[in-house]
């Protein structure tokens, strides 16, 4: 290994500029650990003028991808342009040119990770993406290395900072969804087009990456049940609070025997659950293994320097692999054929808000309906609604299968005493 490792950045936005900042400011520690200098030698951008004053003489800014990707002096390419197709092209070309690749791009890895790993392996190159899930939290390597010998059976987490910020403000400050989203956009936590975040897609992509690593199974985005938080009524969060629950956008990946289930959905957590106290833009992921028991990873899920820290850990891993001459050998292939759990069989508690006729016997009628399906109640609130002659009933059920709960919904919708089922959510009791 030479005395200098050159890094080429594709993109110089929030994450890219953070990576250069860390390399420039923490050279002493990096050199001590790696016995070589790290240098950002080339950066690909679209608009040279925008970035001119941000880099010194020793770094070349270019708008030509070839100057970085096919540059013989560069060892590691860091893809932080974002998006899918262009980024995929760049990474494929880089791997084919024998470069090790580090990326923060969850969209790309969730969609094309399998293909990219194959190409990386064929070219004896490393492909790492620690920053793609949980920003600065050292999570992926903890799962793949730290828990390498365990059998992980459940991952449950808050993996999207934008939605966690919105839900925190709704829960703690009683802001409406619209106000909370607007504030998140003003503060830069939410993008101008927040669809991927608020509809749960961003979290779903991250859960796919986690599930693949944890279960060694080729889970795909289409296998994930996704529902987001857009338009969530504040009333539900308020009722949840009264009952001792906090609403979070929760990603779960569960393995039961040899089948897995991955989902992202707004979920009520009982207030004692460790994830219930994860606030604002923070992320946290709970990983349960047969041998280790329960572990929790917590930290900033985004931001320039936190995310760049995770990118740096990948660059360090590439350089250590170079020292040992083991690049391209770290990827663990899927071990098991994909087997998905039938979602109808998943078991959980549920929250349901019902508008019923405000008349004698209505509640008894509804109770009876649940009883027939063997669904018992853990908590209940009943009060007259603002609408005349309508009572609002909120129920937290004990555990039951989704199939059985769906039957209850069907019966509620058919019942004479029920005007409508206003909303329902999954409930996570204990961790
Ligand atoms: N921001 C975070 O906290 C965070 C956290 C975890 C993961 N990530 C992931 O990290 C990646 C980068 O995010 P970011 O927040 O750093 O994005 P960003 O601030 O928008 O920066 C993107 C950079 O890439 C450049 N770029 C975009 N398309 C390009 C193209 N086709 N050719 C050349 N340059 C191009 C942009 O240049 P111009 O300015 O000239 O357009 C800009 O310098 C994304 O995959 C994101 O999901 C971000």
pLDDT reported for residue 191? 87
Which segments of 174-303 does DSSP mark as H helices, in order?
A: 177-186, 195-198, 201-215, 234-243
Q: Are strands 390-397 and 347-357 parallel, antiparallel or unpaired?
A: antiparallel
> Which tens digits make up the pLDDT trace of 417-427?
999 999 999 99
Count H helices, E strands: the chain?
Answer: 15, 17
Q: Are the beta carbons of 133 and 159 closer than 8 angstroms?
A: yes
Of 206, 248, 322, 419, which one is the catalytic site residue? Answer: 206
pLDDT of residue 376: 96
Indicate yes or no: pTM above 0.85.
Answer: yes
Q: Express each pLDDT in 327-356 by its tens digit.
A: 998 888 899 999 999 999 999 999 999 999
The vertex-289 CA angle with 287 and 294, nearest 5°, equals 55
Q: Residue whose CA is closest, atom 31 of ligand 1?
A: 86
As a whole number of angstroms, the distance between CA 5 and CA 314 comes to: 14
Query: Residue 253 — φ and ψ, nearest 5°?
Result: -135, 115
**Is residue 54 lining ligand 1, measured as CB closer than 6 Å?**
no
pLDDT given for residue 332 in this prediction: 82
Q: Is the CB of 64 under 6 A from ligand 1?
A: no
Quick check: 1 pLDDT over 80? no
In contact, 100 and 92? CB cutoff 8 Å = no
Cα(381)–Cα(394) distance, rounded to whole angstroms? Answer: 5
pLDDT over 70 at 430, yes or no? no
For residue range 185-214, list pLDDT tens digits in order. 998 888 889 999 999 999 999 999 999 999
Q: Is the CB of 283 under 6 A from ligand 1?
A: no
Pocket-testing residue among 20, 50, 80, ligand 1, by greatest number of atoms within 8 A of Cβ = 80
Average pLDDT over residues 5-18: 97
3-state secondary structure of 215: helix
């Amino acid at each position: 290994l030479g005395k200098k490792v050159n890094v080429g950045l594709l993109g110089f936005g929030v994450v890219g500029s953070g990576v250069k900042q860390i390399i420039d400011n923490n050279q002493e520690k990096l050199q001590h650990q790696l016995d070589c200098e790290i240098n950002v030698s080339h950066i690909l951008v679209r608009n040279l003028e925008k970035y001119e004053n941000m880099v010194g003489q020793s770094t070349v800014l270019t708008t030509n991808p070839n100057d970085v990707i096919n540059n013989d002096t560069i060892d590691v390419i860091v893809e932080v342009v974002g998006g899918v197709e262009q980024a995929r092209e760049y990474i494929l070309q880089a791997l084919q040119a024998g470069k090790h690749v580090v990326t923060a791009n969850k969209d790309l890895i969730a969609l094309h990770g399998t293909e990219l790993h194959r190409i990386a392996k064929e070219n004896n190159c490393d492909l790492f993406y620690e920053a793609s899930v949980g920003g600065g939290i050292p999570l992926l390597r903890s799962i793949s290395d730290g828990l390498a010998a365990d059998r992980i059976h459940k991952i449950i987490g808050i993996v999207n900072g934008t939605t966690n910020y919105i839900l925190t403000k709704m829960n703690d400050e009683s802001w409406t969804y619209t106000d909370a989203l607007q504030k998140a956009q003003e503060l830069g936590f939410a993008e101008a087009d927040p669809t991927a975040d608020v509809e749960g897609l961003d979290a779903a992509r991250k859960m796919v990456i986690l599930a693949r690593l944890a279960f060694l199974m080729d889970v795909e985005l289409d296998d994930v049940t996704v529902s987001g938080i857009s338009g969530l009524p504040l009333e539900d969060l308020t009722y949840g609070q009264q009952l001792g629950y906090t609403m979070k956008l929760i990603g779960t990946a569960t393995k039961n025997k040899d089948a897995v289930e991955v989902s992202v959905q707004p979920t009520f957590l009982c207030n004692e659950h460790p994830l219930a106290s994860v606030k604002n833009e923070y992320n946290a992921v709970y990983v349960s293994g047969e041998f280790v028991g329960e572990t929790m990873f917590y930290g900033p899920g985004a931001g320039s320097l936190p995310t760049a820290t995770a990118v740096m850990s990948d660059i360090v891993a590439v350089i250590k692999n170079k020292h040992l001459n083991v690049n391209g050998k770290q990827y663990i292939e899927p071990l098991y054929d994909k087997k998905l759990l039938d979602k109808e069989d998943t078991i959980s508690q549920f929250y349901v808000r019902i508008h019923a006729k405000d008349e004698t016997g209505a509640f008894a009628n509804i109770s009876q309906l649940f009883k027939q399906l063997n669904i018992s109640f853990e908590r209940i609130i009943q009060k007259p609604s603002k609408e005349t002659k309508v009572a609002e009933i909120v129920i937290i059920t004990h555990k039951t299968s989704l199939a059985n709960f769906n039957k209850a919904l069907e019966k509620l919708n058919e019942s004479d005493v029920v005007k409508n089922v206003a909303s329902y959510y999954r409930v996570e009791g204990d961790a």
